[in-house]
Structure 1
Amino acid sequence: MTGSGAGRPRAAAEAAASPYIDTSKPHPARMYDWWLGGKDNYPVDEEMGRRLVSMDPRIPGIARANRAFMQRATRWLAASGVRQFLDIGSGIPTEPNLHQIAQGAVPDARVVYCDNDPIVLAHAEALLRSTPQGATEYIQADVREPAAILDRVRATLDLTRPVALSLIALLHFVPDQDGPYELVDRLMSALPSGSWLMLSHGTGEFTPDRAKAAGDLYRSRDLDLALRDRADVLRFFDGLDLTPPGVTVVDAWHPELGEPVPVAGEGPVPIYGGVARKA
């Protein structure tokens, strides 16, 4: 198992062998970074990001609302006794990162990040600054490779003890033909009783015309976008015990006193979120 320093050589070695970063095609993680005001994106990401904002000016606020949900859910899970986290689709580091939230509450928390974008790997050093008591690690893999992910996380996480699986704003990029429900089931099936699923997912049911236009734009860039309604998002939690308030728009999930309302304008935040426990 790795700690704050031990994980860095592996990340450096992987970075040296990382695949070429394709700057000719937008990537969701880099667009998300641009919406959050980050610098780790390319003109192709900004161009598409701007196109999407022209369709719905709330998108940067929606991205912040999703990020805030991740932070609240992580704090809630840490307070509930969770000490291990597997964050798939981690995205480009944006402080506070999941491990900073978790280890701020429980310094011995162990966190594994996973993403398929080489630019995330290039910034993995920021994800490996663990507390001395805990551990963080980064692995380069795709959610469509659950067996490979589970095999590699065993170097850092004890899969005989509860793990919180974090899938934040990821599965709406996994189309039905890639079996998103089966992927979640395979991942959760490998985790023991007492584990958790923390998930957020974009929806088009509040603004179907905008959702269709966004889907058309993604397809024109050879990207997948599978916005799902609440009933479809609920399916990801089949067999698990949802914590109140269940699956709801992310800014309504355990809002904290004094937290700014990040989205203003027409309609609810078009992202559902929920947290559920495996019995």
Structure 2
Amino acid sequence: MTTDTALSLGVQPVGADTDRPSIPRAYDYSLGGKDNYEVDRSAFERIRRIAPRQGDVHVTNRRWLTRAVRSLAEGAGVRQFLDLGAGLPTRDPLHVVAQECGRGDAAFVYIDNDPLCVAHGRAMLERNENTHYLPGDLTDPAATVDKAGRHLDLRQPVAVLLGAVLHHLADDDDPAGIVARYIDLLPAGSYVAITHYCDPGPGRPELHELARELERAHVQEVFGSGRYRSPERIRALFGSLDLVEPGLTALDDWWPQGPPVRAAAPEEHLILGGLGRKPGRHLEPLRLIGR
């Protein structure tokens, strides 16, 4: 899969087709956006009948990505970001977060294989010379990094963002292998941020059954993708990277901005996030586990 129109994220991009639900458009709806159609709203409401607070899961995911970008820009001095499977533009774009953290020169490249996302991204996000939204297939790391390298200095550390995207790859797509190839192509001192739907396993039977039910709905009934993997398999996605403290955690447990305002709903336990760093001495690292 090497072309911009190749299959990616487990299903063919829907684009502007109003007869089929679209993953990025439904995600946009869940965040309160306006770039969606009735077919997307109906699809997401089917998920919400199983998990009433699934919209909060997506909001929490977005907050996590914002905290991760801010930590990288402020705490690690990262000046280059590559957002894979970036989706539709939403409030508080991540390049603005990076560029407002004292990194006005931060270079930010968004990549997506859905032509609707690319069109909206170019129109709404490319407001300065350091921000670019490009068509591309994240399952082809070499082609994607080569394309991003037209706007990023690949001799210097890059932060790769994989937010709520790898669970849309099937096991046969080898998501761990894909991430490993990105790691090989990145310079030392680079970071990879990942959030992923999680099935905690039969040791937590109620959450395990909810994860199984949600996966069946996502894959078989609504979008054709959306897999809930075990914490061990999600941890394996980081491969040779060193995990940054506090490791792979529930999203609101990763450097929260304050105490929780309410108890988490069951579905909010079914997504994990973590940040890994490629060993090297390019930049002062964020605090690493076991170091």
Q: Identify the TM-score tier after normalising by the shorter chain.
A: 0.7 to 0.9
Amino acid corresponding to residue 68 of structure 1 in structure 2: R
Please identify, of 75-84 and 236-245, the stretch whose mean Cα deviation from structure 2 is larger. 236-245
Pick the aligned partner of 2:109 from 109, 112, 133.
112
Aligned-residue offset at 1:144: 1.3
Give the total of aligned pairs.
258
Which residue does the alignment assign to 1:192? Answer: 187
Aligned-residue offset at 1:274: 0.6
Look up the SS of the partner of 2:269 in the other structure.
Answer: coil
Query: Identity over the aligned pairs, expressed in percent?
Result: 38
> Is 1:215 aligned to 2:215, yes or no?
yes
Aligned CA RMSD, in angstroms, stands at 2.0
Which residue does the alignment assign to 1:231? Answer: 232
Aligned-residue offset at 1:89: 1.0
Kindly tell me: are residues 109 and 117 of structure 1, through their superposed partners in 2, closer, same or farther at Cα, counting changes over 3 Å?
same
- Deviation track 1:233-253 (CA, whole Å, cap 9, x = no partner) reads 100112111111000011110
> Is 1:126 aligned to 2:127, yes or no?
no
- Deviation track 1:133-176 (CA, whole Å, cap 9, x = no partner) reads x6011111121122221111111001111000000000000011
2:212–2:228 CA contact under 8 A, matched in 1: no
Amino acid corresponding to residue 240 of structure 1 in structure 2: L
Amino acid corresponding to residue 174 of structure 1 in structure 2: L
Look up the SS of the partner of 2:238 in the other structure.
Answer: coil
Query: How far apart in 1 are the matches of 2:255 and 2:15?
Result: 40
Aligned-residue offset at 1:232: 0.7
1:29–1:91 CA contact under 8 A, matched in 2: yes
Aligned-residue offset at 1:266: 3.6
Pick the aligned partner of 1:101 from 80, 97, 103.
97
Aligned-residue offset at 1:215: 2.3
Q: Which runs of 5+ in 2 are unaligned?
A: 1-12, 280-291
Which residue does the alignment assign to 2:9? Answer: none
> Is 1:53 aligned to 2:53, yes or no?
no
Which residue does the alignment assign to 1:5? Answer: none
2:190–2:278 CA contact under 8 A, matched in 1: yes
Kindly tell me: are residues 29 and 20 of structure 1, through their superposed partners in 2, closer, same or farther at Cα, counting changes over 3 Å?
closer
Aligned-residue offset at 1:83: 0.3
Query: How far apart in 2 are the matches of 1:35 and 1:137?
Result: 25
- After TM superposition, the score normalised by the length of structure 1 is 0.87
Which residue does the alignment assign to 1:276? Answer: 276
Q: Which runs of 5+ in 1 are unaligned?
A: 1-17
Amino acid corresponding to residue 250 of structure 2 in structure 1: V
1:61–1:263 CA contact under 8 A, matched in 2: no
> Is 1:87 aligned to 2:86, yes or no?
no
Aligned-residue offset at 1:214: 2.4
2:176–2:239 CA contact under 8 A, matched in 1: no
Amino acid corresponding to residue 22 of structure 1 in structure 2: D
Residues 34-49 of structure 1 aligned to structure 2 (within 5 Å)? 34-49=29-44
Aligned-residue offset at 1:210: 2.4
Aligned-residue offset at 1:268: 4.9
Look up the SS of the partner of 1:123 in the other structure.
Answer: helix
Which residue does the alignment assign to 1:62? Answer: 57
Look up the SS of the partner of 2:195 in the other structure.
Answer: strand
Amino acid corresponding to residue 118 of structure 2 in structure 1: L
Kindly tell me: are residues 262 and 169 of structure 1, through their superposed partners in 2, closer, same or farther at Cα, counting changes over 3 Å?
farther
Query: How far apart in 2 are the matches of 1:190 and 1:68?
Result: 28
Aligned-residue offset at 1:262: 7.8
